[in-house]
Chains A and B, each alone.
Chain A
Amino acid sequence: MPGPIPDSAVIKPAQPRESPLGLTLRALLRKRSSRIAMVVLGVIMLVGLLAPFIAPYDPAAQPDIVALKDLPPSLAHPFGTDPYSRDVLSRVIYGARLSLTIGILATIVSLTLGVAYGAVSGYIGGTLDAIMMRVLDAFLSIPRLLLMLGVLVAWPHLSIGALVLFLGLTGWFGLSRIVRGQVLALKHAEFVTAAQALGASRRRILARHLLPNLVSPIAVAATLGVAHVIVLEAGLSYLGIGVPQPLASWGNIIQDGADQVARLWWMSLFPGMFMVLTVMMLNILGEAMRDVYERRS
């Protein structure tokens, strides 16, 4: 006679436990383009993170402003040197650190604002929604770059913190529209009514039932948002009103060689390459995420 069958052998759930987040990650890993994008972005972030250990020189050091300036790429300086004799490779590495940090922090700022504004507007609805959306329309009618130029010309010596805040404060309008739309679409979903019928408060419904369902579109917007901020910061730094010297960002490295682009080609090529690569990978990843979640819904 066989012994009693242990419970665990009899009862097997049909499928393994799978969170929506895990599913998304796996779908992303299945696709080659997004896999590559994640690896490349991972490497660039690691480089930024470990900049002090990787960079061969101090990015701000000007060892010999006469003999070591404007050197083309060589073994000692793989990306060459700039007109102040600084090592461009080291500056590009530190630039990765700063540009990504600014991109991510500014996006966190705009994410917070955009999600809060859009969620409140969509969930409460009615007159408040109408007013909030008209205010948003007003904001959206001001070109972002123009607004920035205005402010940065008025206060030319913004600290990095202020720059991040500023990039974040001007970047949430589009996202709040997306969030509002999603909240509007979801707030009459049956599971929301069900949560209400079981006694959940409005705040709880918004925080626990609506927002978690918006993670996908928010993640897409965030990824694309980081790319956008990186380009913007580079643009501002190129114009000389972004990241202040002697700090290195991809934009101001290019700026340093701008007046002699043809001769100092390495000064635009290498930081430019990194920037294009980063932005491209972020966009590929963002689009792939969008694909995954749109296919699911």
Chain B
Amino acid sequence: MASPLLSIRDLRTYFYTESGVAKAVDGVSFDIGAGETVGIVGESGCGKSVTALSILRLIQPPGRIETGSRIEFEGKDLVTLADDEMRNIRGNRISMIFQEPMSALNPVFTVGDQVAEVARIHAGIGRKKSWERAVETLALTGIPAPEERAKQYPHQLSGGMRQRVLIAMALIMKPALIIADEPTTALDVTIQAQILDLLVHLQKEFGTSILMITHDLGVIAETTSRVIVMYAGEIVEEASVTELFARPHHPYTEGLMHSMPHIGHDQERLNVIPGTVPAPTNWPHGCRFRERCPYSWELPEREHPPLYDVGAGHISRCHLAREPERRNHPHQPLVVQEGVGAA
């Protein structure tokens, strides 16, 4: 196998806050191949966005990528790269699509100008040339009348249009990797589908790799080929999409899937995973999911589970890999027993 486009090894991003060291990302390793679409899924606070920002080295103090972490991209280690070289990668080789199309655009410039700016920074071309390219790229993202739209300000566009503008900004330099951080969360369902289709289409057309970050398993199912499930700063499960949906192994993944509402099922209440992600300054000993887990026993309490190989390129950070029969005897999770309450 050729070496992957992006290879992350033991990424640890810690935040040194007054209430302690928040280990937001705590030893994450994964690869993204050229042209591959990989999803990272998890609840808020599980470390998925911090992982994304770490790749682009956009972590602000008091946050820091710990030494020993490695992010290899096109033969360079992004963790130790000089600042100006890193700037040259951002927006050029790796770009990012942000969550809030409302706030990710500068309100005082036209959208065309903002798309063109990326080309001016990286391609060293002038105003006229970059403007032409911006209009071309806006057209690629399916914006009607791109020439006219380019001259408008963000507040004059709808949410879906703005998201297309952000995609155009990410796309204009034809990067090798696009990181999409919840690209559809802020949009209407119908627009969501359009934007996802657009991303899939562009990915096929340009062979760009995409790292899709989301809390929505539906988005994962629709767009990605491989999924990484994150919980409490760690990868807890990784598999191909079909494998993961067919045979979720980690109880957290199972919980995520159960908590998706299903059309046609008569259901009075949504299933939820009881409790919330613990504080990153104080991850629990042993298995970090243990208190919310319906199968937990004394082994997860004693021992932090490694990533077990559970077959078919599927890995899971759960001791159930060792004692699978326990899956037949679920019980009330600790958080419910203690009356901490189901969130």
Query: Which residue numbers of A lie inside 8 Å of B, CB to CB?
Result: 11-15, 17-20, 126, 188-191, 193-201, 204, 208-209, 212-213, 215
Asked if A196 and B58 sit within 8 Å, CB to CB, the answer is yes
Q: Are A196 and B90 in contact (CB under 8 A)?
A: yes
Q: For the complex, would chain B's binding face be called helix, strand, loop or mixed by DSSP majority?
A: loop
Contact status of A199 and B106, CB under 8 A, knowing A11-B148, A194-B166 = no
Asked if residues B87 and A212 are in contact (CB atoms below 8 Å), the reply is no
Smallest Cβ distance from B117 to chain A, in angstroms? 7
In the bound complex, do residue A20 and residue B121 qualify as a contact, i.e. CB atoms below 8 Å apart?
no
Cα distance A270–B139 in the bound complex, in angstroms: 63
User: Contacts A193-B98, A197-B58, A199-B87 given; 5 further ones with Cβ under 8 A?
Assistant: A11-B145, A20-B153, A194-B98, A212-B109, A215-B108
Q: Which residues of A contact B144 (CB under 8 A)?
A: 11
Which B residues contact A (CB, under 8 angstroms)? 56, 58, 60-61, 87-92, 95-96, 98-100, 103-110, 117-118, 121-122, 144-145, 148-149, 151-153, 156, 166, 169-170
Distance between Cα atoms of A215 and B108 in the complex (Å) = 10
Q: How far is the CB of A293 from chain B (nearest CB, A)?
A: 12
Known: A13-B145, A13-B148. A197 touches B103 (CB 8 A): no
Is B90 a contact of A199 with CB atoms below 8 Å? yes
B108 & A18 in contact (Cβ 8 Å cutoff):
no
Instruction: Name 5 A/B residue pairs within 8 A (Cβ), A-sorted.
Output: A13-B149, A191-B106, A197-B95, A199-B88, A204-B121
Give the complex CA separation of A190 and B163 in angstroms.
13
Closest Cβ neighbor of B94 among chain A residues: A197
- Structural contact, B90 and A197, CB atoms closer than 8 A: yes
Q: How far is the CA of A204 from the CA of B90 in the complex (A)?
A: 14
Hey, which chain A residues are within 8 Å of B96, CB to CB? Answer: 194, 197-198
Chain A residues near B87 (CB-CB < 8 A): 199-201
How many angstroms between the C-alpha atoms of A189 and B108 in the bound complex? 14
Distance, CA A265 to CA B178, complexed state (A) = 75
Contacts of B105 in A (CB 8 A): 191, 194
CA distance A194 to B104 in the complex (A): 6
Kindly provide the distance from the CB of A292 to the nearest chain B CB, expressed in whole angstroms: 14
B108 to chain A, nearest CB (A): 5
- For A20, the chain B residues whose CB sits under 8 A away are 107-108, 153
Residues of B within 8 A of A17 (CB): 110, 151-153, 156
Chain A residue at minimum C-beta to C-beta distance from B90: A199
The docked-state distance in angstroms from the alpha carbon of A84 to that of B61 is: 68
Of B99, B108, B109, B169, which contacts A198 at CB under 8 A? B169
CB distance from A129 to the nearest CB of B (A): 13
**In the assembly, what is the distance between CA of A199 and CA of B104, in Å?**
14
**When the two chains form their complex, are residues B108 and A190 in contact, meaning their CB atoms are under 8 A apart?**
no
Task: Given A11-B148, A13-B145, answer yes or no on A195-B89 (Cβ-Cβ < 8 Å).
Answer: no
With contacts A11-B145, A198-B170 taken as known, whether A189 is within 8 angstroms of B103 at the C-beta atoms is yes
In the bound complex, residues from chain A placing their C-beta under 8 Å from that of B145 are 11-13
Residue in chain B with minimal CB distance to A21: B108
Residues of chain B within 8 A (CB-CB) of A194 are 96, 98, 104-105, 166, 169
Q: How far is the CB of A194 from chain B (nearest CB, A)?
A: 4
- In whole angstroms, what is the CA distance A197 to B149 when docked? 23
> In the complex, A18→B118 CA distance in Å?
23
List residues of chain B with CB within 8 A of the CB of A208: 117
* A199–B122 CB distance below 8 A: yes
Residues of B within 8 A of A198 (CB): 90-91, 95-96, 117-118, 121, 169-170
Residues of A within 8 A of B60 (CB): 188
Contact at B95–A213, with CB atoms within 8 Å? no
CA distance A208 to B121 in the complex (A): 12
Among A19, A195, A196, A198, which residue has the most Cβ atoms of chain B within 10 A? Answer: A198
Minimum-distance CB pairs A-B, first 6: A198-B91, A199-B91, A199-B90, A11-B145, A190-B103, A197-B96
Q: How far is the CA of A38 from the CA of B188 in the complex (A)?
A: 44
B121 in contact with A200 (CB, 8 Å):
yes
Name A195's contact: one of B100, B103, B106, B153 (CB within 8 Å): B106
Which residues of chain B have C-beta atoms less than 8 A from A213's C-beta?
106-108
